[in-house]
Amino acid sequence: AQSVTQPDIHITVSEGASLELRCNYSYGATPYLFWYVQSPGQGLQLLLKYFSGDTLVQGIKGFEAEFKRSQSSFNLRKPSVHWSDAAEYFCAVGFSSNTGKLIFGQGTTLQVKP
């Protein structure tokens, strides 16, 4: 069965430090991969997505993610975290038929220390 795992439930980093949020997926076919951010009172916002092509994907707000098929991973990175990045981050996998149906990971809460 398809699944998405985010091993880190909670991460705390200092402002200005680098960030990596982990995501592993289990899916038999070519996955569509997404990272979303959820802030209180706001809907999930798409940070970036991978469908095909270059395995290093650039997103909004300075985020990037790298698809590694051999490791079934799609980790999210940012070189320098800002206090406004504190939020809940979700990795998601979509079906290769692109029905729009998404399976989400458990989420990682990012706390940023001043």
Q: Does 100 bind another protein (CB under 8 A)?
A: yes
Helix ranges, 1-114 (H): none
Give dist(CA 16, CA 78) in Å, integer.
10
Q: Which is nearer to another protein, 73 or 109 (CB)?
A: 109
Q: Does 51 bind another protein (CB under 8 A)?
A: no
Q: Does 61 bind another protein (CB under 8 A)?
A: no
Binder among 45, 58, 71, 84 for another protein (CB under 8 A): 45
Alpha carbon 49 to chain centroid, angstroms: 9
Q: Does 11 bind another protein (CB under 8 A)?
A: no
Number of residues engaging another protein in binding (CB under 8 A): 19
> Per CB under 8 A, which region of 19-27, 34-42, 68-76, 79-87 contacts another protein?
34-42
User: The dihedral of CA 8, 14, 15, 16: what is its sign?
Assistant: negative
Q: What is the largest CA-CA distance in the chain?
A: 43
Give dist(CA 36, CA 21) in Å, integer.
12
* Binding footprint of another protein on the chain (CB under 8 A): 36, 41-46, 49, 90, 99-107, 109
